[in-house]
Amino acid sequence: MNQTEPYSHNQKRAFQPEKLSAPRNFSIPKIIQSDNKLPLILEIGAGKGKHALSFSAENPDKHLIAIERTRNKFEAFTKLFNQQSLDNLTPIHADAIAWTVYAIPPSSLASIYILYPNPEQHNPNQQWLNMPFFEFLLSRLQTGGEIVLATNIEAYMDNAEQQTSSLWQLPHERQVVAAESQRTHFEVKYLARGERCWQLTMTKPQGYRTRFDSWHAPAVDKDIK
């Protein structure tokens, strides 16, 4: 990277958050505005909530916001959520990109989970680490925070690891997922079939700079839920 470049990565295409509209019926969860909040975790693509529910039950000292866009999956998720008493879990039915832009302040997330995303094999520009939005996502992460990506597709993981190094310039660790892991329904299915799954853990280092470190979305709805 050119030493005069103000950013800590090599992404030239800039994400344009100002062009996004707020999600329908948007409101900011109370946990985000709380002064005494628990460490905040974001899960993108929560599906039917298997990981979100188990993570929240096992980590009462953290608060997980779990986003799912598909209606039938979100309805299955909330049905299970309503059967449990988990004050440290907030399910959100929305597009993750627009919702994150309007709801999450800079440097507020302790970690982010993206578990078994759509591989977008015919449209690689939509893979998470190929998207300009990934820079915005990094701006929402605290120093020392982690992004955890998991997939059963080796080519997807190879590309993600390459982009982590060359484009985003992040410290990272690649691991094979343990055969007994059961974080999501997809993970259970893949491992039961004897497939290998991979996990990439990326860490935001001290002093990492993005275009959006001080960017806040305009106020849309002051309702708190």
Residues 100-154 have pLDDT tens digits of 999 999 999 999 999 999 999 899 999 999 999 999 999 999 999 999 999 999 9
SS3 2: coil
Tokens of 162: 């390459």
For the residues of 50-108, what is the DSSP string, one character each? Answer: HHHHHHHHH-TTSEEEEEE--HHHHHHHHHHHTTS--TTEEEEES-HHHHHHHHPPTT-
Distance CA(26)–CA(223), nearest Å, equals: 8
Question: Of all residues in the chain, what percent carry a pLDDT higher than 90?
Answer: 87
Domain boundaries, position 168: 38-203
**Residue 217: both structure tokens together:** 């979305």
Residue type, 205: P
Has residue 183 been placed in a domain?
A: yes
Q: What angle do CA 99, 95, 81 make, to 5 degrees?
A: 90
**Average pLDDT for residues 144-166, to the nearest whole number?**
98
The whole-model pTM stands at 0.94
Number of structural domains (the chain) is: 1
CATH number at residue 117: 3.40.50.150
Residue 66 lies in a domain: yes
Express each pLDDT in 21-59 by its tens digit: 999 889 889 888 877 679 999 999 999 999 999 999 999
In a domain, 9, yes or no: no
